[in-house]
């Protein structure tokens, strides 16, 4: 299972504290903790093991410096998802299925899956300077992570449509208003603040926590179905000409021309 300090992947550090908090730290700061295949799978494996370990009561997920800049773009181009067993979808299902409290702390950027993961957490804290974005359509893709189901429930249809369809960056206050985060931490370090909240959870009966979370998230089967439904369309779009135009435009520092494509 889990030792007191593990290192399941070069880019994922894990520390199990004496009080039962498993702190998972995304550690690829030079790439703003952008995910790639094995990095995704290491996080999914850690969440699965944490769920099974009697030593873990709460998981606290954070980044080293930034939280997460989404999928590594070059890796995405080199290894586009072929089916819904692709690593990104494995992580999303692992987060959606996680039965214990999941706390996330954010600094820097939370882009793409760095934002959709928040929809599967139970407590989310951010500092005031963090920046968020759901840029799927600007890359010729579709949203993922059951965000087309969960974000309208949190933010209302119009706000969710604005965030998902336009794909524009938004700040911590907008994330708070949309129900992506619980609180903006301005008078303390957000990592310390989140750890303190996680510590309070460890003092509660684990059975009560798990039962209460199950009651709160009674629609988990629907969420998993939506992750897979979005995933099928995401895979289709990942092989589209629009994606390659978006990537070319990014590299050439120009606006993409999607109007040349009928799809």
pLDDT one-digit tens code per residue, 32-74: 999 999 999 999 999 999 999 999 999 999 999 999 999 999 9
Match 């300077």 to its residue by tokens. Answer: 129
The mean pLDDT of 14-22, rounded to a whole number, is 97
**3-state percent breakdown (helix, strand, coil) of the chain, nearest 5:** 50, 15, 35
Q: Is 5 a residue whose pLDDT tops 50?
A: no
Neighbours of 51 (CB within 10 A): 16
CB 65 within 8 A of CB 108: yes
Q: What is the pLDDT of residue 19?
A: 97
pLDDT of 4 over the 60 cut: no
Report phi then psi at 38, rounded to 5: -65, -30
pLDDT band for 260, please (50, 70, 90 cuts): confident
Angle subtended by helix axes 37-52 and 87-97, to nearest 10: 20
The strand pairing partners of 131, in sequence order, are 109, 171
Is the confidence at residue 203, as pLDDT, over 80? yes
pLDDT in tens, 152-200: 999 999 999 999 999 999 999 999 999 999 999 999 999 999 999 999 9
Contact between 148 and 164 (Cβ < 8 Å): yes
């Amino acid at each position: 299972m889990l030792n007191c300090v593990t290192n399941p992947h070069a880019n994922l550090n894990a520390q199990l504290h004496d009080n039962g908090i498993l702190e998972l730290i995304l550690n690829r700061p030079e790439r703003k903790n952008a995910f790639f295949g094995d990095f995704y799978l290491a996080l999914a494996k850690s969440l699965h093991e944490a769920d099974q370990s009697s030593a873990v009561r709460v998981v606290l997920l954070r980044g080293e410096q930034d939280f997460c800049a989404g999928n590594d773009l070059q890796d995405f181009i080199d290894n586009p998802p072929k089916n819904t067993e692709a690593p990104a979808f494995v992580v999303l299902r692992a987060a959606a299925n996680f039965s214990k409290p999941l706390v996330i702390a954010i600094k820097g950027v939370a882009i793409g899956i760095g934002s959709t993961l928040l929809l599967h957490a139970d407590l989310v804290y951010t500092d005031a300077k963090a920046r968020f974005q759901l840029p799927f359509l600007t890359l010729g893709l579709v949203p993922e992570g059951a965000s087309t189901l969960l974000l309208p429930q949190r933010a209302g249809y119009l706000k969710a449509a604005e965030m998902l369809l336009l794909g524009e960056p938004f700040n911590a206050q907008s994330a708070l208003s949309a129900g992506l985060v619980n609180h903006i931490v301005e008078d303390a370090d957000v990592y310390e603040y989140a750890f303190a909240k996680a510590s309070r959870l460890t003092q509660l009966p684990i059975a009560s926590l798990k039962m209460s979370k199950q009651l709160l998230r009674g629609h988990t089967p629907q969420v998993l179905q939506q992750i897979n439904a979005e995933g099928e369309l995401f895979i289709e779009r990942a092989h589209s000409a629009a994606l390659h135009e978006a990537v070319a435009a990014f590299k050439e520092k120009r606006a993409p021309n999607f109007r040349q494509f009928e799809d």
